[in-house]
Amino acid sequence: MKHLLSAADLDLDAATLVLDTATEMAAMASREVKKLPTLRGRTVVNLFYEDSTRTRISFETAAKRLSADVINFSAKGSSVEKGESLKDTALTLQAMGIDGVVIRHPASGAPNTLSQWVDGSILNAGDGTHEHPTQALLDAYTMRSRLGQLKGLRVAIVGDVLHSRVARSNVLLLRTLGAEVTLVGPPTLVPVGVEDWPATVSYDLDSVLPGTDAVMMLRVQRERMGQAYFPSAREYSRRYGLDNRRVKLLPEHAIIMHPGPMIRGMEIAPEVADSPRSTIVEQVANGVSVRMACLYLLLGGK
């Protein structure tokens, strides 16, 4: 595999390999010396056009644990903010002879576009409302470690599916791994064209929860209200928020996930986010292992 642009780039074998490799990486992280020499001499650029300290630190930690040289290239305050185009930035990276680029960008497809101009591997760390494949991988990793196997697992993805790159990547990856996905949200936040997705759609969260092994709450931005996607934050929470009453509808073993950053009180009640069934903190830790696995598999074999 040259790039990781979409969760669809991974077939069952490749996805399983990433998850298995992440398991090894996690085991390594509990040792005293947390570093592996695997990517010594390799250069990874973190190219972040959106503020996302969490994701950037996760990738940076992953790359450093594999002994790669990491260059952080933030769009803020750089030549990019002064108007340098993606193409010019790409040509600069190309001239530097970098081995991999981790890109976060507000425009859907920017990693695909970048891959035309750079010889190194491109790893999509979230592009617009398109995809976020490493998030889907860490979610799958989290589900597998909590619930065993992914095949046949019933996963509900709840919230702003229309604008969610997390949802797109999760739908693709979970289908590859044999899980059954139900998308839940107000019809305004479910994309036209969803009928082609390997998932079922429901507008009624209460009816979905009893048959769910993992429920993934998506962030809902308040500014969507101004665009008439839903009338008010209160009504949204009432219809699609995960509160204590709804948690009781879930089977005993079901887990509660959120890709973060979450809006407590909007899509998830604070006590639900902090409950033992919530995997939110675990997801962050798993993120480093999964990103180590991705970097290792993309760059290690060179």
Partner 1 sequence: MTTYLIKNVSVLGGEPRDLLVRDGQLHEPSGPAADVTIDATGLVALPGLVDLHTHLREPGREDAETVETGSRAAALGGYTAVCAMANTDPVADTAGVVEQVYRLGQAAGLVDVQPIGAVTVGLKGETLAELGAMAESAAKVTMFSDDGFCVNDPRLMRRALEYVKAFGGVIAQHAEEHRLTEGAQVHEGVQSAKLGLTGWPAVAEEAIIARDVLLTEHVGSRLHVCHVSTAGSVEVLRHAKARGVNVTAEVTPHHLLLTDVRACTYDPVNKVNPPLRTQSDVDALRAALAEGIIDAVATDHAPHAAEDKECEWSRARPGMLGLETALSITMQVLGNDWETIAERMSRTPARIAGLSEHGHDPLPGNPASFTLVDPAARWTVDPEALASLSRNTPYAGMELPGRVVATFLRGEATVLDGKATR
Selected from 196, 245, 248, 301, the binder of partner 1 by CB under 8 A is 196
Q: CB of 105: closest distance to partner 1 in angstroms?
A: 7
Closest to partner 1 by CB, 28 or 86: 86
From residue 19 to residue 58, the character string flagging contacts with partner 1 as x (rule: CB under 8 A) and all else as - is: ----------------------------------------
Q: Looking at beta carbons only, is 49 or 296 nearer to partner 1?
A: 49
Residue closer to partner 1, measured from CB, 183 or 299: 183
User: Whole-number minimum distance, CB 189 to partner 1, in Å?
Assistant: 12
Toward partner 1, which CB reaches closer, 114 or 256? 114
Q: State which of residues 60, 99, 127, 267 lies at the interface with partner 1 (CB under 8 A).
A: 127
| 252 lines the binding site for partner 1 (CB under 8 A) | no
Residue 253 sits in the site that holds partner 1 (CB under 8 A): no
Q: Which of 55, 129, 286, 289 binds partner 1 (CB under 8 A)?
A: 129
Query: What is the DSSP track for 134-148?
Result: HHHHHHHHHHHHHHS
Interface with partner 1 (CB under 8 A), residue from 37, 77, 97, 193: 193
| Binding status of residue 108 toward partner 1 by CB under 8 A | yes
- Interacting stretch for partner 1, rule CB under 8 A, among 29-37, 100-108, 203-211, 293-301? 100-108
DSSP the chain: ---B--GGG--HHHHHHHHHHHHHHHHHHTSSS----TTTT-EEEEEESS--HHHHHHHHHHHHHTT-EEEEEESTTSTTTTT--HHHHHHHHHHHT-SEEEEEESSTTHHHHHHTT-SSEEEEEEETTTB-HHHHHHHHHHHHHHHS--TT-EEEEES--TT-HHHHHHHHHHHHTT-EEEEES-GGGS-TTGGGSSSEEES-HHHHGGG-SEEEEPP--GGGGGGTSSS-HHHHHHHH-B-HHHHTTS-TT-EEE--S---BTTTB-HHHHTSTTB-HHHHHHHHHHHHHHHHHHHHTT-
Per DSSP, the three-state class of 226 is helix
CB of 111 to partner 1, least distance (A): 9
Kindly identify the residues of this chain, within the stretch 78-97, that bind partner 1 according to CB under 8 A.
Answer: 85-87
Closest CB to partner 1 among residues 158, 183:
183
- Candidate residues 60, 131, 180, 213; the one interacting with partner 1 per rule CB under 8 A: 131
Q: How far apart are CA 299 and CA 165, in angstroms?
A: 24
Q: Which residues form the interface with partner 1 (CB under 8 A)?
A: 85-87, 105, 107-110, 112-113, 127-131, 165, 168, 191-197
